[in-house]
Amino acid sequence: MPRIPIFKLGSPVELPPPRLASYTPVLHLDGLHLGIDNVRHDVWLSPTFCEGARNQISALIMKFGGVENILAADTGASTKARNALAKFVPVASRKKPDLKLLLLDLHKSILNQAKARSDLTIDALGRAAILKFLRTELSTQFSNVLERCRNTLKSYEGLRQQKALEYRERVAGFQIAKKHVLRQTAQELFRILREIERENLASMRRSLFGEKSTSDYAVFLTQLIFQEDARDSYLQAEHYVLVGGFENDPDSIGNIRGLVCEFLKAIASQAEEAESPWFEGWLAAPENANELVGTGEPDDRVQKQRLEMWVSLLERDALLDYAVASYEVLPLIKDFAPLLDPQQLKYALVRKKDKERVEKLASEYSKLPIDRFTSALSRMSQVSGMQRAKLAARYLRDFLLYYRDMRRLEVLNAAQEKVNLISSEKLSELSKLNGTLYAFFLESEEKSQAEKPVARHVILKADVRDSSRLTKSLLERDMNPASYFSLNFYDPVNKLLPKYGATKVFVEGDAVILALLEHEGDPGLSVARTCVLAREMVEIVGGYNHLLKRAALPALELGIGISYQNSSPMYLLDGEHRIMISDALNESDRLSSCDKRMRKALHGTDVPFNAYEFRSSESTITEPMRYNVDGIRMSEAAFLRLKEEISLSPVEVNFPQLWGTEENSYYTGLVPVAADVFRRIIVRSARIPMVETGNFNLVQWTESLLYELCTNDAVYKSVEKGSAAGTT
């Protein structure tokens, strides 16, 4: 880039142009059906969620407004009657649902629906709808609480005058403090939304969709999401920078923006006009402040010169005092609000006329700590040049941060204007009939899976290796093979089935066949969940084997096959017993099988993998030779479906190989198992070799691929170690 000359104190100084970042928030709702008004998207939110959220928001407003005991007195008369009925109502139904759990449940349900439809835009729509609902309910519930308070006051008229007077004053104070109460309630809602995003939703979204997203989810997580115009002076002072709220204020947003643009125009080669498209991207990237002026104490010569220029611009427009005052205001807010707005305090620290107004007010209200205000004035007068420069740098950074979140709020507001929150059942039915309704329910409200048609299914077959020899060994010791298999294999596996929604298709002496049915509207994680189930089966049997080894008893070895079919299974009836018919049954049987010769040939090999297949070079032998000992092999269709269900990333690992020329590929991903539980899986893809049958010498590699779900801990530790090293 060319060097741009700027001027300071009449002398030209060449500065290299800065490397500025650019940021533009986006929230796409493209591709979604328009609703019945042909303008907005129709959304129906869970009635259970709406009712629970209303009650919780109302409770928060009463708490922050200090009117809880007033309304408690109002309801005291009817409490006895309700208590009499409560004994007949289950405890679980009387308990108010926790707001955090309600929000988490609905957000997860929306994300699962987005996954089921393979469209993350649905998740963005659902989140925008929830925020619109919460915004609306803030003002609605405040009005409801105020009305309830007024009704309570009416009941005290002519009876208990002293109590009525006390309550009247408190209700009047509650009404006056409306903005303050709603701000506190909104901040509590924001805290909950930020927590569930960090603790649950972000990980779940990455697991289901990977890192790619056309929408910027940070739009949903700014301090301003419950504001309409971002001009709340309390939020500005606490989280950003206190700029003027009106256009004619000397430090208005427009004036500060113009000053920053002038600063950028002087030092950035791309900026020719103040309204250049470059500016919007630069102003919305707070990290640019550090690139431009550092932290206010720059050691870098270039940053120091830029900082001097920025300070000069603020002083030229008489704005530096306002910048310093905006930081002195924060400690005063608690003592002077709500009598004085933060903006009034800021201007009183700078302008004599406003200062005299504050002093007059303090003389009328003896409780106002005027000494703290005086101390702030004294500190401002004693701020050194170095401190002013540091505050000027901070002011630039905080303004860019505020500007970025204002842009995010504009994007969020535009998205919410496209959301039509339907509360009428008649309109919801009309929208549903036209196929334009996006309905989001809690998981507990979803219709049972039995009522939904099965769209796809996965079959898992787990086969015990060399069961005949194992049975004979147990009988020779006068032990019961049936109880042995039951205690160490079937019983532990049975305990896993409810966790993954798996059902038993068939059980025989040395094998079990399980099915995971995926219904229409499900989030579509049947293969991924089957993979985790298979890993847990291998791990549980491995744990029991340690105990068996101590008792000098023979260990159990499994071979597992996973097959996927993109259709529902068929059934035939044998009396009342249903018998499943599916090609996946036969395929899983082949994938779980193991040839005795292969087991003997590969015994003791120093490779961390447990599933192989070989093709014979002899034309007379057409059946593949398979090896599967404590391994999990999956079909190609199952692997391809897994890549659709979760985000699989390729990884590089180095392990011993049978011949040293194997072409292996490895993929890893996280599978959501429960609310806060994710399990990592690693899949190995390898070409199937053609070998000489007699000595297993490699002849050539075929084009066919084998897919193994890795079970060896060494593989997982290697991948995790590599990920940690990459992060470092």
Ordered structural domains, the chain, with CATH = 4-17+232-414 (no CATH), 41-215 (no CATH), 445-591 (3.30.70.1230), 593-727 (no CATH)
Judged against a pLDDT cut of 80, whether residue 87 lies above it is answered with: no
Q: In angstroms, rounded to a whole number, what is the distance separating the alpha carbons of residues 170 and 252?
A: 36
* Residue-level pLDDT at 657: 84
Q: What stretch of H or E contains 593?
A: none
pLDDT digits (tens, 9 = 90+) for 391-429: 999 999 999 999 999 999 999 999 999 999 998 888 888
Cα–Cα separations (whole angstroms), residue 306 to 169, 220, 228, 297: 55, 34, 35, 12
88's tokens: 């007949």
* Residue-level pLDDT at 297: 83
pLDDT digits (tens, 9 = 90+) for 167-178: 888 888 899 889
- The identity of residue 178, as a single letter, is K
Judged against a pLDDT cut of 70, whether residue 121 lies above it is answered with: yes
First to last CA, the chain: 32
* Residue-level pLDDT at 106: 96
Q: In angstroms, rounded to a whole number, what is the distance separating the alpha carbons of residues 586 and 233?
A: 69
Q: In angstroms, rounded to a whole number, what is the distance separating the alpha carbons of residues 466 and 464?
A: 7
Judged against a pLDDT cut of 50, whether residue 600 lies above it is answered with: yes
75's tokens: 């309801």
421's tokens: 């929150």
Q: In angstroms, rounded to a whole number, what is the distance separating the alpha carbons of residues 293 and 389?
A: 10
Q: Dihedral sign, CA of 385, 388, 392, 393?
A: positive
* Residue-level pLDDT at 11: 40
Q: In angstroms, rounded to a whole number, what is the distance separating the alpha carbons of residues 293 and 396?
A: 9
* Residue-level pLDDT at 452: 67
* Residue-level pLDDT at 271: 55
C-beta of residue 107 within 8 angstroms of C-beta of residue 208:
no
Phi, psi (deg, nearest 5) at residue 206:
-65, -40
* Residue-level pLDDT at 277: 67
* Residue-level pLDDT at 88: 42
* Residue-level pLDDT at 92: 41
Judged against a pLDDT cut of 80, whether residue 512 lies above it is answered with: yes
Share of residues in the chain with pLDDT > 70 (%): 90
Judged against a pLDDT cut of 80, whether residue 639 lies above it is answered with: yes
Average pLDDT on 356-384 reads: 88
3-class DSSP state of 266: helix
* Residue-level pLDDT at 6: 42
- Residue 94 banded pLDDT, cuts 50, 70, 90: very low
- Residue 96 banded pLDDT, cuts 50, 70, 90: low
Share of residues in the chain with pLDDT > 90 (%): 53
- Residue 367 banded pLDDT, cuts 50, 70, 90: confident
Secondary structure E strands in 592-709: 611-616, 625-628, 631-634, 649-651, 664-674, 677-691, 698-709
Q: Round the average pLDDT of the chain to a whole number and report it.
A: 86
- Residue 207 banded pLDDT, cuts 50, 70, 90: very high
* Residue-level pLDDT at 79: 47
pLDDT digits (tens, 9 = 90+) for 488-511: 788 888 889 998 999 999 887 678
Average pLDDT on 521-532 reads: 90
13's tokens: 């100084």
Judged against a pLDDT cut of 70, whether residue 5 lies above it is answered with: no
* Residue-level pLDDT at 215: 83
437: which residues sit within 8 A by CB, 6+ positions away? 35, 42, 43, 44, 422, 428, 431
Judged against a pLDDT cut of 50, whether residue 328 lies above it is answered with: yes
8-state DSSP, 197: I
* Residue-level pLDDT at 155: 78
Judged against a pLDDT cut of 80, whether residue 259 lies above it is answered with: yes
Q: Dihedral sign, CA of 548, 549, 551, 553?
A: positive
Q: Which residue has the higher pLDDT, 597 or 459?
A: 459
Q: In angstroms, rounded to a whole number, what is the distance separating the alpha carbons of residues 678 and 204?
A: 8
pLDDT digits (tens, 9 = 90+) for 147-160: 999 888 887 776 66
Q: In angstroms, rounded to a whole number, what is the distance separating the alpha carbons of residues 152 and 625?
A: 83
Q: What stretch of H or E contains 559?
A: strand 558-565
* Residue-level pLDDT at 274: 47
Cα–Cα separations (whole angstroms), residue 300 to 267, 291, 294, 296, 305: 16, 11, 9, 11, 9
Judged against a pLDDT cut of 60, whether residue 728 lies above it is answered with: no
- Residue 556 banded pLDDT, cuts 50, 70, 90: confident
Q: In angstroms, rounded to a whole number, what is the distance separating the alpha carbons of residues 647 and 651?
A: 13
Average pLDDT on 426-436 reads: 82
Judged against a pLDDT cut of 90, whether residue 68 lies above it is answered with: no
* Residue-level pLDDT at 679: 93
- Residue 23 banded pLDDT, cuts 50, 70, 90: very high
pLDDT digits (tens, 9 = 90+) for 105-119: 999 999 999 998 889
523's tokens: 């989030």
Judged against a pLDDT cut of 80, whether residue 649 lies above it is answered with: yes
677: which residues sit within 8 A by CB, 6+ positions away? none
- Residue 7 banded pLDDT, cuts 50, 70, 90: very low
DSSP strand pairing (570-574 vs 577-581): antiparallel
3-class DSSP state of 695: coil
Average pLDDT on 650-679 reads: 86
Q: In angstroms, rounded to a whole number, what is the distance separating the alpha carbons of residues 621 and 616?
A: 6
Judged against a pLDDT cut of 50, whether residue 443 lies above it is answered with: yes
Q: In angstroms, rounded to a whole number, what is the distance separating the alpha carbons of residues 361 and 75?
A: 40
* Residue-level pLDDT at 91: 44
* Residue-level pLDDT at 308: 93
- Residue 606 banded pLDDT, cuts 50, 70, 90: confident
* Residue-level pLDDT at 70: 82
Average pLDDT on 208-226 reads: 89
Judged against a pLDDT cut of 70, whether residue 281 lies above it is answered with: yes
* Residue-level pLDDT at 726: 53
C-beta of residue 669 within 8 angstroms of C-beta of residue 647:
yes
